[in-house]
Amino acid sequence: MNTMGLFGGSNTNKLKLPEPKSHHFFLEKGLDLVTPPYQTKPGWMREGSENLYVDINGGFTTTKGYEAFDGQSSPSEQNYTILDVTITGSFAADDAITGADSSATATILEVDTATRTPQSYLVLGKVTGVFNASEDLKVSAVVQGNTDALQAEGSGSTGKLHAQYKNLVADLYRADIAAPTGSGSLLGGEMLDDVKYVFRNNAGDTAADLWKSTSSGWSQVALGIELGFISGGTTEIVEGTVLDGLVGGAPGQATLTRVMLESGSWAAGTATGKFIFASQTGTFEAGGVTVAAAGDLATIAGDSSAITLVAGGRYKIELYNFGDGMRMYGVDGKSRGFEFDGTVFGPIKTGMASDIPTDVVIFKKHLFFSFAASDQHSGIGTPYA
């Protein structure tokens, strides 16, 4: 791009702009969801503001932090249970109790012997089952008291106690939430189909791992295996079929989860790309491969290799549907660009000598990867080619 007309030359004419004037206003009004934007006076917060909420003392304020998350139920949404008891031994916070008859279990959050004297009660979290109205309660198989009534959920006698008990039960559940296993900070992430995915270096800092949120916490996603091929055709090899090697004493065999066509076509017998699968038996050796004993359908140069990600990248991800559902397309500045649909991870080859893109964008059905001063893009609707 020629920029001399903008920044060079000796033109002394200068654009005269008015002196900037500053003004200020206090962010103290509150939330206004009714007044049209052009009529809203300074200081009001509009709908859609992020990380802000109306303050109980007037005006609005920033959030105090974020709830811990790993896919399990939110700690702040959990509830406590009140259980009236007669104490014959001793109960303490964090004790695990069991009903002698019902086999119901719970964790003690607090023991209260003063609020409703002479009636004592336990504040419980993580209750499983239903305690009987009259049964012994055991701690480590030793009876420490008995129930005097059926349990009652979320029934603190005052607003203050209710808030305190909600905080106690949230802390109990929050202790179960952990970060993805590994080292260092999270390298990036994205949400796809209501599931959160994040990247983090492994414990040895030798590679990056992919994790997904589940109802039981973070679960590592296997990246799978790749096998390059050339001379594919004229019978197209498709996902879900079993690929068999034609060479060797124990030829490789694998069920294909993705077939990535990078150039050529199956019809012309010039298809080139890679097969992706989760596991294999045997060893793929240089030569032909087939599906359902249909003959030599493509050529491979050797055995497959595990898909890996270089440690220490910073992930940039775009979501897009090229026709087979919404998928993630990303780069990390350390490894090849990739596609991921929540199950299958596929590295994308661009043909660059150093195939390590630093930015990604999708425009007009083209997938763009940038490499310093170079941009590479796919064909229309074909992110692999």
> Cβ–Cβ contacts within 10 Å for residue 211, how many?
23
Per-residue pLDDT tens, the chain, 385 aa: give them: 233 333 344 455 677 888 888 878 777 777 788 889 888 888 887 775 677 777 888 777 888 788 999 999 999 999 999 999 999 999 999 999 999 999 999 999 999 999 998 999 999 999 999 999 999 999 999 999 999 999 999 999 999 999 999 999 999 999 999 999 999 999 999 999 999 999 999 999 999 999 999 999 999 999 999 999 999 989 999 999 999 999 999 999 999 999 999 999 999 999 999 999 999 999 999 999 999 999 999 999 999 999 999 999 999 999 999 999 999 999 999 999 999 999 999 999 999 999 999 999 999 999 999 998 899 999 999 999 9
> Cβ–Cβ contacts within 10 Å for residue 165, how many?
23
Cα separation, 40 vs 294, whole angstroms: 71
- The answer to pTM > 0.85 is no
Three-state helix/strand/coil letters over 66-126: CCCCCCCCCHHHCCCEEEEEEECCCCCCCCEEEECCCCCEEEEEEEEEEEECCEEEEEEEE
Taken as a whole, the chain contains a residue count of 385
Cα separation, 383 vs 385, whole angstroms: 6
**What stretch of H or E contains 361?**
strand 359-363
